[in-house]
């Protein structure tokens, strides 16, 4: 088997060599050993669990929190001629049974599950009857409450693992401190796992942290030359839209991306094809995006954690060429970071109010607990109850952390339907159900959940979809498709304050954890030492030397006298020059030049005129 891994690598991935850490992980899996793998973003984690099953009999189970990424991987495997299926997102029981039958008898090699779907008793029982060759847990840092993206459902994966007897388990992540790795191993009960941790260092990425008084100008400079493939991260939806517009006005070709943006696929395609080479985005962008030639990643806003920062700069230059990651800070950013951190912990009042509205939204009566994943549109929910989008998101994450509910992401249409007449002869059962149960559907568009109606009317989901299409085709109905961005599964019956009590007790602990993460990124941004050393030490990697390429090391190598000498020489050839003009073609960055000019003004070497131009005295 091991001797054939290069043949599989060549035939399915058209590669002849493994990246660092990949071969060791694959070998451990083929030796039926449990394995924990920490490879940097872009390090090729998916190959570690996709290749071994192709060399042996049996099905590989892959658990991931990212629905879109799972869909992409399934499509990628299909293009390689490998049968794969994604069982995440809402499914009727009959459809789930059929899909599991296909897993057993349909020659599939990979089945992808969300951590929530992996808890389903039917899924666990049916998979335990099959020949499973590997259990792969991607984004394994979600298991740990010490990680930056803790998801309680991940801690319950052990239930499925215990039903798979001696199946080897591989847990993979790009960001894990020593504490997080220990928590992963303990929670998953990994038996003396092979631990593969490739260096977190990406030496081809120059780390720059710049203090600025004009972020827009600094971002523009960091993106030079214009047309360079880049990502600019900012903190809010509004800020990315404004920033994109302003950069376009400065001659850059940008687009923006956030969770509520329309035409997401087109925005991504235009960026991938470099019609708009710069994507200005919130942290919602980047996961699962495979573009190898990104040369600039700029953070206009401080990330919430070192893990988030590392993950986002890791989208730079996966082709190995030199790239720059620039983090910009200005006066007041520390307070903004603390405010954002505090805002991410909702108030008791917000939690109680949102939970009550959520129960009304889904018609959950006191003492009841819905059994299905319910289709949820975040924007519509906030609009209906006049809630703030961001606060509501944070409340939902707190409720999920407290295990009251689980949020899932998926792309399932919610239908907006209007019947044009009351008496429709065909599709009788379906139409009768709509007329009896959906008030006003003949007068105006009503939003309906087809999967829910299909179940309650007894017609089946595929039949319900076909009914709707036929009604529209024959002129009996008008149809609109609305995007549903999430699904929600309730875990405990609604008992209002009793249900919320454990969540409310956790708020102080959560607040302290968030502050620790924020403190770490602020300490990094304001460090007076090598930024590469600071970053790697955070993840438990020893790095004793100075890298010589980060902004801190470059500043050390460039005494102020050299910069002042350069400025004197430039200004001696011109009557007056602005900071922007002095920055052009300079070997020093704008911040270094600004500091030097301030010192020269103080020493009365130069004077700054009313046009903000500098002259030698």
- Do 120 and 249 belong to one domain? no
Q: Are 204 and 44 a contacting pair, CB within 8 Å?
A: no
**Which residue bears the tokens 């429709």?**
424
Q: Closest Cα partner for 418 from 385, 454, 446, 450? A: 446
User: How far apart are alpha carbons 174 and 38 in whole angstroms?
Assistant: 5
**One domain for residues 130 and 234:** no
pLDDT tens sequence across 8-28: 999 999 999 999 999 999 999
Convert the pLDDT of each residue in 518-553 to its tens digit. 999 999 999 989 999 999 999 988 888 888 889 998
Q: pLDDT band at residue 411, thresholds of 50, 70 and 90?
A: very low
Q: Give pLDDT, residue 67.
A: 76
Asked if 247 and 380 sit in the same domain, the reply is: no
Mean pLDDT across 102-116: 92
Same structural domain, 24 and 157: yes
The residue that leads in pLDDT, 195 or 401, is 195
Q: Sheet containing 577-578: give its strands across.
A: 577-578, 613-616, 606-608
382: in domain = yes
Of 132 and 505, the structure prediction assigns the larger pLDDT to 132
The residue-averaged pLDDT of 83-108 equals 86
CB atoms within 10 A of CB 500: 19
CA dist., res. 572 & res. 605, Å (int): 12
What's the pLDDT score for residue 208? 95
Residue 361 maps to a domain: no
Nearest to 131 by CA among 108, 112, 154, 113: 108
Top-confidence residue, 215 or 383: 215
Backbone angles phi, psi at 551, to 5 degrees: -65, -30
Mean pLDDT (whole number) for 402-411: 74
Comparing 182-186, 203-207, 465-469, 550-554, which segment has the lowest mean pLDDT?
A: 465-469
Report d(CA 266, CA 478) in Å as an integer: 26
* 597 Cβ contact list (under 8 Å, min separation 6): 567, 579, 582, 606, 608, 614
Mean pLDDT of 114-123: 89
Q: Do 115 and 65 touch, CB atoms closer than 8 A?
A: yes
Strands of 424-581 (E only): list them.
Answer: 446-448, 477-490, 577-578
Q: 209 and 192 in one domain? A: no
Angle between helices 389-401 and 497-505 (to 10 degrees): 90
CB atoms within 10 A of CB 546: 16
- Token pair for residue 611? 């046009």
> Are 443 and 425 spatial neighbours (Cβ–Cβ below 8 Å)?
no
Residues 441 and 468 in one domain: yes
Question: Does residue 360 fall inside a structural domain?
Answer: no
Segment 149-160 shows an average pLDDT of 88
132-141, 225-234, 393-402: segment of lowest average pLDDT: 393-402
Asked if the model's pLDDT at residue 289 lies above 90, the reply is no
* pLDDT-based confidence at residue 419 (cuts at 50, 70, 90): confident
Are 94 and 166 members of one domain?
Answer: yes
| Exposure of 329 in the CB half-sphere (CA atoms within 13 A) | 20
Number of domains forming the structure of the chain: 4
Share of the chain above pLDDT 70, in %: 95
584: Cβ contacts below 8 Å, ≥ 6 apart? none
CATH number of the domain where residue 255 is located: 3.40.50.300
Residue 498 lies in a domain: yes
Give yes or no for residue 482 having a pLDDT over 50.
Answer: no
User: 35-76, pLDDT tens digit by residue?
Assistant: 999 998 777 899 999 999 999 999 999 999 877 788 889 989
Residue with more model confidence, 301 or 286: 301
Per-position b or e across 376-386, b if 16+ CB within 10 A of its CB = bbbebbbeeee
Report whether pLDDT(610) > 90: no
Average pLDDT, the chain: 88
**In contact, 409 and 488? CB cutoff 8 Å:** no
Task: Check residue 357 and give its pLDDT.
Answer: 96
- Strand pairing class (374-376; 296-299): unpaired
Does position 462 have pLDDT exceeding 70, yes or no?
no
Residue with tokens 């912990």: 345
Sign of the CA dihedral running 376, 379, 382, 386: negative
Residue (of 306, 248, 254, 309) closest to 281 by Cα position = 254
What was the pLDDT predicted at 451? Answer: 65
The beta strand positions in 78-204, using DSSP E, are 84-86, 110-113, 132-137, 169-173, 194-197
State the residue range of the domain holding 147.
Answer: 2-197
- When pLDDT is cut at 50, 70 and 90, the band that residue 342 belongs to is confident
42 vs 489: which has the higher pLDDT: 489
Does residue 521 lie within any of the structural domains?
Answer: no
| Residues listed for the chain | 617
Looking at the structure, do residues 381 and 497 belong to the same domain, yes or no?
Answer: yes
CA 5/CA 25 separation, integer angstroms: 12
φ/ψ of residue 514, rounded to 5: -65, -40
Looking at the structure, tell me whether residues 501 and 576 fall in a common domain. Answer: no
Cβ proximity of 302 and 261 under 8 Å:
no
Q: Is the pLDDT of residue 426 over 70?
A: no
Q: Which two tokens stand for residue 26?
A: 């694959």
* Residue 352 falls inside a structural domain: no
Whole-Å CA distances, 326 to 211, 233, 329, 552:
11, 10, 10, 12
Give the residue with greater pLDDT, 601 vs 350: 350
pLDDT-based confidence at 484, cuts 50/70/90?
low
Alpha carbons within 13 A on the beta-carbon side of 453: 25
* Residue 122 within a domain: yes
Res 555: pLDDT: 77
* H or E element in which residue 105 lies: helix 93-105
Asked whether the predicted pLDDT for residue 375 surpasses 60, the reply is yes
Q: Which of 331, 361, 390 is the last residue of a domain?
A: 331
The DSSP result for 411-449, as a single string, is EEEEEEEEES-S---SSHHHHHHHHHHSTTTTTS-EEE-
Q: What CATH number does residue 567 fall under?
A: 1.10.10.10
pLDDT surpasses 50 at 318: yes
Q: What is the residue whose two structure tokens read 């509004």?
A: 238
Look at residue 414 and tell me whether its pLDDT is greater than 70.
no
Among 139, 169, 197, which residue terminates a domain?
197
Question: With 70 as the cut, is the pLDDT of residue 3 above it?
Answer: no
Going by C-alpha positions, the residue among 174, 58, 184 that lies closest to residue 109 is: 58
Strand order in the sheet with 230-233: 205-211, 323-329, 296-299, 230-233, 278-281, 254-257
Let me know whether 166 and 298 are in one domain: no
Chain centroid to CA 535: how far? 20
Write out pLDDT tens, residues 434-449: 888 888 888 888 877 7
Q: Show which of 331, 352, 383 is a domain's final residue.
A: 331
Strands 296-299, 278-281: pairing is unpaired
**Strand duo 169-173 + 35-38: pairing:** parallel
Q: Which residue has the higher pLDDT, 389 or 485?
A: 389
Give domain status of residue 124, yes or no: yes
Q: Which residues contact 88 (CB under 8 A, 6 or more apart)?
A: 67, 70, 112, 113, 114, 117, 408, 410
Mean pLDDT of 137-141: 94
* Nearest residue to 417 via CA among 436, 431, 401: 431
pLDDT at 479 over 80: no
Predicted local distance difference test score (pLDDT) of residue 29? 95
Shared domain for 193 and 210, answered yes or no, is no
What percent of the chain is modeled with pLDDT above 90? Answer: 50
Examine the domain organization and report whether 32 and 103 are in the same domain.
Answer: yes
pLDDT at residue 157 greater than cutoff 70? yes
Write down the pTM of the prediction. 0.72
- CA distances to 42, 172, 455, 534 from 23, in Å: 16, 14, 47, 29
Among 266-270, 348-352, 467-471, 531-535, the range scoring the smallest mean pLDDT is 467-471
Residue 251 has pLDDT above 50, yes or no: yes
The mean-pLDDT minimum among 61-70, 340-349, 375-384, 559-568 falls in 375-384
């Amino acid at each position: 088997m091991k001797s054939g891994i290069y043949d599989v690598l060549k035939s399915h991935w058209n590669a002849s060599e493994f990246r660092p850490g990949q071969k060791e992980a694959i070998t451990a899996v083929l030796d039926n050993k449990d394995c924990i793998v920490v490879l940097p973003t872009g390090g090729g984690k998916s190959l570690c669990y996709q290749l071994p099953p192709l060399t042996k009999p049996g099905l590989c189970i892959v658990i991931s929190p990212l629905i879109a990424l799972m869909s992409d991987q399934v499509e990628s495997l299909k293009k390689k001629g490998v049968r794969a299926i994604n069982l995440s997102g809402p499914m009727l029981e009959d459809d789930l049974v059929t899909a599991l039958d296909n897993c057993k008898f349909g020659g599939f090699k990979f089945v992808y599950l969300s951590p929530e779907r992996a808890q389903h008793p039917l899924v666990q029982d049916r998979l335990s009857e099959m020949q499973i060759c590997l259990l792969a847990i991607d984004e394994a840092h979600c298991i740990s409450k010490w990680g930056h993206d803790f998801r309680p459902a991940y801690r319950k994966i052990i239930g499925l693992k215990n039903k798979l007897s001696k199946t080897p388990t591989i847990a993979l992540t790009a960001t894990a401190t020593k504490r997080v790795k220990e928590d992963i191993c303990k929670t998953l009960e990994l038996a003396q796992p092979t631990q593969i941790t490739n260096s977190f260092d990406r030496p081809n990425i120059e780390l720059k942290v710049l203090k600025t008084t004009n972020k827009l100008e600094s971002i523009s400079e960091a993106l030079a030359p214009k047309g360079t493939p880049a990502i600019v991260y900012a903190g809010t939806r509004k800020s990315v839209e404004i920033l994109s517009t302003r950069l376009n006005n400065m001659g850059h070709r940008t687009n923006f991306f956030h969770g509520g943006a329309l035409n997401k696929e087109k925005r991504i395609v235009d960026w991938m094809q470099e019609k708009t080479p710069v994507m200005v985005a919130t942290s919602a962008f980047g996961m699962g995006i495979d573009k190898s030639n990104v040369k600039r990643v700029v953070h206009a806003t401080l990330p919430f954690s070192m893990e988030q920062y590392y993950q986002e700069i890791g989208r730079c230059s996966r082709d190995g060429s030199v790239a720059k990651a620039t983090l910009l800070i200005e006066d007041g950013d520390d307070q903004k970071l603390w405010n954002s951190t505090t805002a991410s912990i909702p108030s008791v009042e917000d939690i109680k109010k949102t939970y009550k509205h959520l129960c009304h939204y889904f018609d959950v009566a006191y003492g009841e607990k819905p059994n299905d994943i319910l289709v949820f549109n975040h924007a519509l929910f906030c609009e209906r109850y006049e809630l703030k989008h961001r606060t509501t998101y944070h409340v939902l994450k707190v409720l999920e952390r407290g295990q009251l509910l689980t949020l899932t992401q998926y792309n399932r249409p919610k239908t907006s339907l209007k019947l044009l007449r009351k008496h429709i002869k065909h599709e009788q059962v379906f139409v009768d159900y709509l007329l009896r149960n959906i008030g006003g559907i003949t007068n105006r568009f009503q939003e309906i959940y087809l999967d829910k109606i299909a179940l309650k009317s007894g017609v089946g989901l595929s039949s319900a979809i076909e009914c709707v299409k036929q009604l529209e085709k024959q002129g009996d109905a008008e149809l609109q498709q609305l995007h549903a961005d999430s699904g929600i599964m309730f875990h405990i019956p609604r008992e209002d304050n009793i249900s919320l009590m454990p969540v409310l007790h956790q708020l102080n602990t959560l607040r302290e954890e968030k502050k620790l993460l924020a403190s770490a990124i602020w300490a990094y941004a304001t460090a007076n030492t090598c930024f590469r050393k600071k970053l790697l030490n955070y993840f438990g990697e020893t790095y004793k030397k100075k890298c010589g390429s980060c902004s801190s090391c470059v500043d050390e190598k460039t005494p102020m006298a050299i910069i002042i000498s350069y400025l004197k020489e430039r200004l001696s050839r011109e009557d007056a020059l602005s900071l922007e003009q002095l920055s052009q073609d300079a070997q020093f960055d704008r911040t270094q030049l600004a500091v030097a000019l301030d010192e020269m003004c103080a020493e009365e070497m130069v004077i700054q005129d009313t046009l903000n131009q500098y002259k030698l005295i």
